[in-house]
Structure formats: structure tokens, C-alpha cells
Structure 1
Amino acid sequence: MDINIVGGGPGGLFISYLIKKRFPQWTVRVFEQNDAGATYGWGVVFSDVALSFLQKSDPAFFQRFTADHVHSDYMEIVHRGVHVPIHGNRFSRVARIALLQFLHVECRSAGVELLFNTRVDDLRALRQADLVVVADGVNSRIRTQHAQAFKPSFVQRRNKFAWYGTRKLFHAVSLIFRETEFGVFIAHSYQYSDQMSTFLIETDPETWARAGLGEMNDADSRIFCEKVFADDLDGNGLLSNKSTWFEALTVKNENWHHENMVLIGDALRSVHFSLGSGTRMAMEDSIALHEGLCAHTTDLAAAFGHFEASRRTASDRFQQAAAKSLDWYENVGDKRHLDPIAFTYDYMRRTGRVTHDDLRKRDPEFVRQYELLYGEAVN
């Protein structure tokens, strides 16, 4: 089989590796518009639950994949300057560029052809292959060109975001809520190497406008955010990498495949940063599509059917939970009156998927503190 993959992110690279490893006689090419060393963003974080799919699918690859990750066994919520740890939450973090470079090596060792600095604007030549995997991200040009077939829908969320990095090392996955004269600013922060942390800042559009961020250039915006989170950064600055403000775009597609094309990763569906890694979803898509191809090597329609049957329900559930998480963040101003323990409890249960008993199993000491203040909650 001859396979073209559009997009050299984690999803596109991982599916190419899986296919070429299982079918070395097949031709697998990845077309990536950027240079091999280009990356926009800082770190990638996985929960242990999120990585369990990878360990189950390919234990040897999992060991190589996580060998250089930064690990922690708890997260923390910072509200009113009080740090509230939540244990029973294990996380694995890695620099995005390190993740991509690792996948480049794995792909090349399997015999995948990687074509960088190759922008695909016209799909007609690529579609002469037997299979085209569309993995070109949330703003997929291929999906846009074939919108009538895939029938995508979009929801533009209201909060503003800016991706920064910092040399302050946040060992725990930390969610920091800072109240200012303009409103609430939120930082999603976590260490991803021995020198760097991600520091994603979020705020509602009204707070963003009152602070004058719409009139600031990138440098002034970065300096403003450093002042908001000065107590958390401990004298460290924020580092920019095209760190312009943006709004989250939720994408879903009515149809997941068309003729010999199939969508995976953010081109297929997007989720909010607070709930789950888009990288995790893309890699789970890759495993499911690979399993479909293994089961139906001569029947592409059946392989696509297997992929969709395996992923559609889980994908819909995840997006529903992500929407609830987005709602919580967009209305966090309504939670400002809560004390740090109640605020953290409310955050942990924001999607409706975590019960009081679930929290007790994860961190009995935190639940004990909550129950001392408020009594035992109803699941």
C-alpha cells in the first residue's frame, strides 16, 4: 500500500511509525510544512491514565517514549495565594521539540520518508496514493478544501490564551488563579525539562480588555503578565515563542473519512488544554486507525469503519467533558468567593466525571479536609 500523511505533528508521525513498523513493505511518506527543528509551543503533558493506552499498545515503544520525561505525582491549585495539593494524579511531561525529534528518529528507523518544508496546498497529486491521512491540525487546510465531504463544525470559545515558557520550575502540574483590579488571570504551568516550564495564561475577554492587552505589543503584554504572576515566578521572566493571544476553537466533524482520506488528531476534533492533551488524542487515533488497517489490509472502507467505531464514542464523551471544563474556566469569576479547599473541590468535579468517592480514592487527606469544613458530599 502507498500512504501519504499530511502533517508532521505527533499524530502524523506516530501513525506513520506504526504502519511502517507493521508493514515494512508499504510506502509511507509524511509531508510537513515546517522545518524539522521548528516547534511552536513549549511542553506536552500526559497523565498516567492518558499514557496507559500507549503502554498497552507497544510496551517497548512506551519505555523509549517516556525515558526522558519529567514525572510528578500530584497537582496543585493556587487560589487566594494558598497552594492546595491534590495527590493521586501522576503526570509525565516532555518538551514538544524533544517529543517530535524522538518521533523523527523512530520513524526513520522504521523506514518512513519524512519530507520537511513541504507545504501541501493541492491534494490532487497526494490522493493518487492508496491512503491519505489528514493530520494537519486544528486549522487543517485539507479539511477546509473538502469541507462539504467532512462537514466540520466550529465553536469559538470566549476566553483569551497566550503560551509562554519560563525558567521557574513547577514540579507539580499547577493551576494558578490570580485576582487583579481587572479580573481573574489563570496560569496553567508545569515543568517539562530540567530547565523549563510551560506557562499558559488564560483570562476572560472582559478582563483582557480592561487590562488593555488588546492595545499592547507582545513585549508589553509579556511584561504585564510577569507582574500579574510575580509571586509565582519568583523573579523569573516569561519567554515568548510567537506568544500572541488567541481564543480556543472547538472542532468536530460529522464525517471522519471521505473516499481514501481520513482525519485524525486536531484536524478531526479539538479539546481544551485543561482536560487532556491533544497529543494524547492524536496518538490514540493513530493506534485505532493502525488497528483498523491491520484487521482490514485490503478493505479501506472497513478499516475506516473500525477506526470510527473504536473512537467515535470516546471522542464525543471527551469533547463533552472538555466543553464543561471550558464553561468552568469561562465562569471562574463566579467561584472567586469560595475558600481554597472548596474552590479546589469544585474545580476537580467541574466535568461531572469525578465523584466524591473518586476524589477520596485519589487523595483521602484532601477529602478529609473538605469534609471537616462542609460534611460528606453527595456523589
Structure 2
Amino acid sequence: MKIACVGGGPASLYFSILMKRMSPSEDITVYERDPVGSTYGWGVTYSDRLLGNLYSADQESACAIAESSASWNRWDHHREDVAMTTRPGHAGYGISRRRLLSILAQRARVLGVRIQYEREITDEGELAEADLIVAGDGVNSALRNRHADHFGTQVTAGRNVYLWLGTTRVFEFFTFAFKETVHGWIWCYGYPYDPRHSTCVVECSPETWKGLGFDRGTEADTLARLEKIFAGMLDGHPLMGRGDGEGGAHWLNFRMVDNRTWYRDNVVLIGDAAHTTHYSIGAGTGLALGDAATLVNALLEDPRLPSALAAYEKEAKAALRTARLAGRRSARWYENIRRYTGLPPEQMFKLHRARYSLLLPYVPPRLYYWAGRVNEKSLARATGWVSGKVARARETFTPQ
């Protein structure tokens, strides 16, 4: 087949790698609108489960990813002068998004995939010769938006605002910090992604955001305020934004993308073009790579394109279900954080760990906490089962 992948993100690039590796005769081109090396964001996360699957799918790229990643094996929670450490039972990893894309692009080229940068595709008519068009062009997918009625696209904005930043503070572990201000609570989590940098994601309610003056002023003003709020966490290190400091900071509302169907004729959605999950569960990269593997398997198992795309949609949606549910529950916990801030810090931290729970939103927080204390083994088993299922669903795929 002649295959065109629109968008040069992890989903499209990894699809091109696996497809070319499993079927070298395929003619594959990746089209990316931005220049080479240009990307947003800092570091992305993944788990040891995903890393094991990457080794099974393509050892060469997996080795390069592992070598370029930072890792941690515990979570640290901080509020006021109280800290608590937990060990989730599995390792976590962070890697620079730019480095990840560079690794995948280099591996794709070695296998014979063509990559065209600074080539924006907004209409499938521009790719009339392609037998298959893989739309991996992100949350704002132009190919999807052209036929939003067919795909049944729904985009829902979250209530809270968040800001994705970098810092030269290299965290040893995955670190959470919750801070109370005169305008409400604001929180940050950070994780390392290379030997010199970490990612920091800051979140708060729109009322706190406005009260702290983040709705006005430059990016430099915003970073200075945040450095003061999270001084203990940053230990004197600066925060880094996306701009030059003169324009406004890039505050966002999370957008939940849903599609009723993921394909139309020879166009198929993949990654964030097909779905999103709340950033607080760190599932985006794993799900994108899982989509890529699932699509490759479907195409190799069935030479008839319509039925192959239908099989891909069915399997990928099933793999997504638990992670999407966990993402919604996690987002709800943060959007209702005042429900938990009246608890002592240690109790709040434990309920933060339990935020995927089906029952937690409907049970008074103190009752939930003390019920867990009375029957801690049962609660630990339940929480561990849910957390394990979330991790497997968001980062497990089986390349063939």
C-alpha cells in the first residue's frame, strides 16, 4: 500500500516504524507541518510495562528510548511542612518529548520511511494517491474536523487551568506539591526527563488563577510568581516557559476529545486525533503508541481495508476504556480539591492516591479514609487492583 501519515507525533512515527518493520514493501510517508526539531512541551512519562512492550515491538528504538530516559521508583507528596513517600511497586520513566520524536524519526528513516517536514496537510484530497491516510495530527486534527459530523466528534473543556513548564531542578522522584494561597489552592507535580531538567505541571481552579493575577501580565511575571509559590519544591531553580517571556503564559484547559467512529473511507484516526485522556494520569504517550501497534496488527491480519479499520477501532476503543474512566475520575478529584484540603496532609495524600476510586466521590472523605484504616488490607487490594488495571489498559499492547 501507499500510506500517508499526517502529523509527526509519536503515534504516526511509531505506526510507520512498526508497519515498515513488519511489511517492508509498504510505501510510507510522514507529513509534519512544523520544522524538524520543533515541538511543544518538555518531558513525557511512561511506565516499565510500556518499556517492556516497546522492546518486544522494536528493540532498536526501545533501547534508544531507555538510554535517553530518567527514572524513579517512588512518589513524594508535600503540603505545608509535611511530606509523605510512597512506592507504587513499579518504575516510572520520563523522556524529553523532543528527544523521543528524534529517536522515532531516525528509526523510521533507517527503515525506509520518508518524512517531510514543513508540509501541512489539511485536506485528504491532497493525498489522493494514498491507499491509507493515518490522521495523527493531534487534538486539533484538521482531517478529523473536516468531517466532524461523520466521526461524531465531541470536545469537552475541563474546568481547571494548567500550565506545562520545565525547570533545571532535577527531581529525584515523582514529586507533588500542594500550596494554599489567599486565593485558593494551587498544586504542581514534577518529574525528571533528562540529567539536567524536569517537567513541572501547574494546575489550579479558574478562580485561583484569576485571583493570583495569572490572567494578566507576561509569561515572565507568571514564572516569577510561581517560583515564589513553589520555592521549597524548586530549591532555588528557575522555571522555564514556552515563549520568550514577553507574551502571555500558555495556560490551557484540558480538552477531552471523543469520537463516535475512528475511520472514514481510507482515513483513520490515531492518538490524540481519536481520543485524549486527562494529563494527570500520564497515559497519552502510551495510548498513542498502543494505537499504532493495534492499527498495524489489524492491517496485517486483514487485507480488506474497511474490515481492518473496523477491527482496529473496536480493539483500540476497548483498550482505552479503563484509562479514560481513570482520567475522568482523576480530573474530578482535582476539580473538587477543596473536598480534601480540610483533611490532615497525610489523609489528603492517601485520598489523592485513591483518586481513581469509584466510591470516593460519593463517600465523605473522612469516612472513606477511616474505613480504609479499619480495613486497610482490603482497601489496599482494591486500590492496587484499580491502579494496576489502569496502568495495563493505558500502556499495554501486543505487537505481532
Give the structure-2-normalised TM-score: 0.87
Residue 123 of structure 2: aligned partner:
122
Higher alpha-carbon deviation: 72-81 or 91-100: 72-81
Residue 21 of structure 2: aligned partner:
21
Please point out which of 338, 342, 351 is paired with 1:346: 351
Residue 367 of structure 1: aligned partner:
none
- Assess if the C-alpha contact under 8 Å between 2:261 and 2:313 holds in 1: no
Residue 77 in structure 1 maps to residue 77 in structure 2? yes
Separation of aligned partners in 2, 1:76 and 1:352: 20
Aligned to 1:235, what secondary structure does the other structure show?
A: coil
Separation of aligned partners in 2, 1:191 and 1:94: 8
Please point out which of 290, 293, 299 is paired with 1:293: 299
Separation of aligned partners in 1, 2:73 and 2:116: 38
- State percent identity of aligned pairs: 31
Residue 219 of structure 1: aligned partner:
220
Separation of aligned partners in 2, 1:43 and 1:180: 28
Residue 139 of structure 1: aligned partner:
140
Alpha-carbon distance, 1:23 to partner: 1.5
- Assess if the C-alpha contact under 8 Å between 1:5 and 1:133 holds in 2: yes
Separation of aligned partners in 2, 1:331 and 1:353: 15
Residue 99 in structure 1 maps to residue 100 in structure 2? yes
Aligned residue runs from structure 1 range 1-379, under 5 A:
1-87=1-87, 88-242=89-243, 243-296=249-302, 298-352=303-357, 374-377=373-376, 379=379
Alpha-carbon distance, 1:216 to partner: 1.9
- Assess if the C-alpha contact under 8 Å between 2:163 and 2:203 holds in 1: yes
Q: Which amino acid aligns with 2:257?
A: V
Alpha-carbon distance, 1:372 to partner: 12
Q: Which amino acid aligns with 1:249?
A: R
Q: Which amino acid aligns with 2:28?
A: V
- In the comparison of the two structures, how many residue pairs are matched? 364
Q: Deviations over 1:31-88 (max 9, x none)?
A: 0011111111100111223434334434454333312211111112222332211112
Q: Flag structure 1 segments of 5+ consecutive residues without an equivalent.
A: 356-369
Q: Deviations over 1:107-146 (max 9, x none)?
A: 0000000000111123202143100000010111111111
Separation of aligned partners in 2, 1:55 and 1:81: 42
Q: Which amino acid aligns with 2:7?
A: G
Separation of aligned partners in 2, 1:76 and 1:328: 18
Alpha-carbon distance, 1:259 to partner: 0.4
Q: Which amino acid aligns with 2:169?
A: K
Separation of aligned partners in 1, 2:73 and 2:6: 36
Q: Which amino acid aligns with 2:53?
A: F
Separation of aligned partners in 2, 1:325 and 1:147: 28
Separation of aligned partners in 1, 2:56 and 2:107: 18
Separation of aligned partners in 1, 2:204 and 2:81: 18
Separation of aligned partners in 2, 1:293 and 1:64: 27
Alpha-carbon distance, 1:319 to partner: 1.1
CA change 1:3–1:233 in 2 (3 A) is: same
Aligned to 1:155, what secondary structure does the other structure show?
A: strand
Aligned to 1:163, what secondary structure does the other structure show?
A: strand
Q: Which amino acid aligns with 1:376?
A: N
- Assess if the C-alpha contact under 8 Å between 1:79 and 1:343 holds in 2: no
Q: Deviations over 1:139-174 (max 9, x none)?
A: 111111111221111111011111111001112111
Residue 246 of structure 2: aligned partner:
none
Separation of aligned partners in 2, 1:24 and 1:161: 42
Separation of aligned partners in 1, 2:174 and 2:352: 14
Q: Which amino acid aligns with 2:30?
A: V
- Assess if the C-alpha contact under 8 Å between 1:75 and 1:89 holds in 2: no
Alpha-carbon distance, 1:245 to partner: 0.7
Give the structure-1-normalised TM-score: 0.91
- Assess if the C-alpha contact under 8 Å between 2:7 and 2:31 holds in 1: yes
CA change 1:61–1:97 in 2 (3 A) is: closer
Separation of aligned partners in 2, 1:317 and 1:50: 16
Separation of aligned partners in 2, 1:373 and 1:318: 24
CA change 1:321–1:127 in 2 (3 A) is: farther
- Assess if the C-alpha contact under 8 Å between 1:53 and 1:284 holds in 2: no
